[in-house]
Amino acid sequence: MSKKKPDFEYERTGAYKFFKWLSGEEDPYVGKVEMKPQRVKKTSKETIQDRMAEKRMRRDKVYEVEDNRIVKGFNKLYYLVAIIFLVVLFITLVDTVSFLPPVGQADKAVNNEVPARYIENGLQETGSVNIVTGMILDYRAFDTLGESNVLFVATITVLILLQASKGKRGAVDYSMYFEPLDDAILRASATILVPVIAIFGIYVVLNGHLSPGGGFSGGAIIGSALILYQNAYGFKKAKKLFNEKTYKTISAVALATYCCCKMYSFFTGANHLESHIPLGVAGHILSSGLILILNICVGMVVSCTMYAFYVMFRKGDF
């Protein structure tokens, strides 16, 4: 039979200290380990330069390429393969072109029933004087919706990848490095040109079904007006006019409106139902059914995308 140890002897044993630490009553390291803050080690410039020179010497010895036979041989082979590939590609393309039908041949692909339908019945079916606008916003409106969504998704992707400061504590705001230096000539020119460019872009969008132009070209013009305004007055003032929230709201509303309008048209057309959307009088501003609304939606998406791409690649954030 073992003899019971007194409490003061048991408290000196490792088992007592271990079980006490295990129960969380006491940490054996708290207050019993001497800790000193680390000193900041400063390396002299001479030492850094010596290390860099030594690193360059090792790299030159290991990765020496000027007199390396293997590297020289690979470069020659690379150029030879590239030339052969280009020659083969050129011959293939020329041979393919030789099989194309002659210009004006009646039975070639561009003279089938599809473009004939666009030309002969486009005005009657779409109400658009501009055949191209009627084609891309009526016959091929689903394709145009996909193109607009591609612009929106691309801008959101760039926004995610290139954000420089938002959501990061202590991040440096580099916007001050991109501000214009009070350029009086630029600001005076922008004061006159920005409204003119924007109004002309709106005109191109609204008359896309009546004359050459439309949502894509008009949106690009409006986007250039926004870019000119930003360059003249800086990010701080431009942000009051157009920011990330503005971009997301305009793009989402425009795409949703486009989608809803064409869903209705697709549903009625696929089921041979009357859409009850009047085409109006050809040549009038309020004509061609939904094409005017779709042009406005496309123009809004394109203009916002142009400005968003410019701001993101220049500054990294709105």
DSSP state at residue 175: G
**DSSP secondary structure letters along 213-253:** --HHHHHHHHHHHHHHHHHHHHHHHHHHHS-HHHHHHHHHH
How does the average pLDDT of the chain come out, rounded?
Answer: 81
Across 1-18, average pLDDT? 69
Long-range pairs for 143-151: beta carbons < 8 A, 24 or more residues apart: 144/294, 144/298, 145/255, 145/258, 145/259, 145/262, 148/254, 148/255, 148/258, 148/297, 148/298, 148/301, 148/302, 149/255, 151/301, 151/302, 151/305
Residues 215-266 pLDDT 10s: 999 999 999 999 999 888 888 888 888 888 898 899 999 999 999 988 888 8
Residues 270-281 pLDDT 10s: 777 787 888 888
Quick check: 175 pLDDT over 70?
Answer: no
Helix (H, G, I), strand (E, B) or coil at 64: coil
How far apart are alpha carbons 83 and 74 in whole angstroms?
A: 14
Which tokens hold the place of 81? 């393969």
Enter the pTM of the model: 0.63
How far apart are alpha carbons 171 and 160 in whole angstroms?
A: 16
**Which of 161-165, 193-197, 298-302, 313-317 has the lowest average pLDDT?**
161-165
Q: What is the 3-state secondary structure (H, E, C) of 242-279?
A: CCHHHHHHHHHHHHHHHHHHHHHHHHHHHCCCCCCCCC
